Amino acid sequence: MSIVVNVLMVIAALALIISVLMQSSDENGLSALSGGSSETFFGKNKMNSLEGKLAMITKVSAIVFVVLALVMLIIG
């Protein structure tokens, strides 16, 4: 069980690292936390773009990483 969790943890960590590095830098600062601007065309259709998909992959892989870290803590 521990080996499976460790392998999943490495996969989640690599997905998190790659998705963060592939994202373009944000000039406005903390718009990732506030949801960004939804008044522009690109803001309304953000989930259909590459940036939106990368942001979703980043959020999901971060959640999976934290959950797996807690599972490793409980197992160990």
What was the pLDDT predicted at 65?
96
User: Is 29 domain-assigned?
Assistant: no
User: Is 42 domain-assigned?
Assistant: yes
Cα 12 to Cα 9: distance, rounded to the nearest angstrom:
5
Note down the domain range covering 69.
Answer: 2-21+38-75
Give the global pTM.
Answer: 0.69
User: Is 26 domain-assigned?
Assistant: no
Cα 65 to Cα 52: distance, rounded to the nearest angstrom:
20
What is the average per-residue pLDDT within 23-51? 63
CB 22 within 8 A of CB 15: no
